[in-house]
Amino acid sequence: MSALHDASADPLTPLAHAATEPPLASGRDLVVRYGGRTVLDRVSIEVRRREVVSVIGPNGAGKTTAVRALLGLIKPNSGVVERAPGVVVGYVPQRIAPESLLPLTVRRFLSMAGRRARADAAAVLDEVGTAAVIDRQLSGLSGGEFRRVLLARALLRDPDLLVLDEPIQQVDFAGQLAMHQLIGRLRDRRGCGVLIVSHDLHLVLGATDRVVCINGHVCCAGEPEEVSRHPEYISLFGPGAAAGLAVYTHDHDHSHGLPAALSPVDADPPEAGSPPAEQN
């Protein structure tokens, strides 16, 4: 596997360093319409190196659509999308059922990711804490083991930007906490940017540097604790949502390079219509 940048040797903290660099990917005022319905209304998202950004919102809020537009997989009706020249993206999808694949061992599955994959498979599995499963069948893995194998496959690309769509889906409580700790270690070790898509607010808000809460439009954006107290967040998820975050504290002992104030966006609700179903 190629040599990794050891961000821990850098004197700047992750977010302080991130603030000095241009975004790996950014979308400004993105509008996406399907038929007669506006799925995204002036949504803005950006991710920098060494930064963990979470896009949260209820099912059908447009989270996956926003990320697909940011990555260039769909073209927005309006808005500006920019990506750093040569940026490499590692993507972990929301849904892929191991039983739907042909009988494959983990080693074989990872080897299909490219020429370097065969030699690097054991190393990336060790990096994500699942070295012991390399010769097991995919269909025999637990939910948590399979999510880590998918993460290992994304890491084989040596990504600048790691995109994780619902990374704790089908993972038990202890595994959820462990996965978010792993994501933080990968960011620190590799110096990559991380974009997480999730509706699991409690754990995501406790493990991320910056949050963008959307429901067709950007409801609020900022640091996790600030977002959890924002009126639009409370209106969307209920008054008990913020209180439930107390157990998942996130110690911000670093500079975010961002204004302390939140960024509420005044936007009209999406128009009525029937777009293709939003997966998350």
Residue 41 lies in a domain: yes
Residue 143 lies in a domain: no
Residue 277 has pLDDT above 50, yes or no: no
Residue 59 lies in a domain: yes
- 194 strand-pairing partners: 52, 162
Look at residue 150 in the predicted model and tell me its pLDDT.
Answer: 92
Closest CA to 62 of 50, 52, 76, 49: 76
Q: Write the pLDDT tens digit of every residue in 5-55.
A: 344 444 334 455 455 689 999 999 999 999 889 999 999 999 999 999 999
Look at residue 248 in the predicted model and tell me its pLDDT.
Answer: 46
Q: What is the helix (H) or strand (E) element at residue 1, kind and residue range?
A: none
Residue 128 lies in a domain: no
Judged on CB neighbours under 10 Å (0-12, 13-18, 19+), 193 is: buried
Residue 2 lies in a domain: no
Look at residue 236 in the predicted model and tell me its pLDDT.
Answer: 85
Look at residue 174 in the predicted model and tell me its pLDDT.
Answer: 81
Q: Write the pLDDT tens digit of every residue in 255-269.
A: 433 333 333 333 333
Residue 220 lies in a domain: yes
Q: What would the mean pLDDT of 161-170 be, rounded to a whole number?
A: 85
Domain coverage including residue 201: 7-88+158-243
Residue 236 lies in a domain: yes
CA quadruple 68, 71, 74, 80: dihedral, nearest 10: 110
CATH of the domain at 69: 3.40.50.300
Cβ atoms of 45 and 55 within 8 Å: the answer is: yes
Closest CA to 69 of 21, 28, 22, 24: 28
Look at residue 256 in the predicted model and tell me its pLDDT.
Answer: 38
In this structure, what are the phi and psi dihedrals at residue 216, rounded to the nearest 5 degrees? Answer: 85, -40
Residue 185 has pLDDT above 80, yes or no: yes
Look at residue 96 in the predicted model and tell me its pLDDT.
Answer: 73
Residue 271 lies in a domain: no
**Where do the H-state alpha helices sit in the chain?**
14-18, 63-70, 106-111, 117-127, 143-155, 173-190, 201-205, 224-229, 231-237, 240-243
- Count of domains observed in the chain: 1
- The residue among 98 and 84 whose pLDDT is bigger is 84
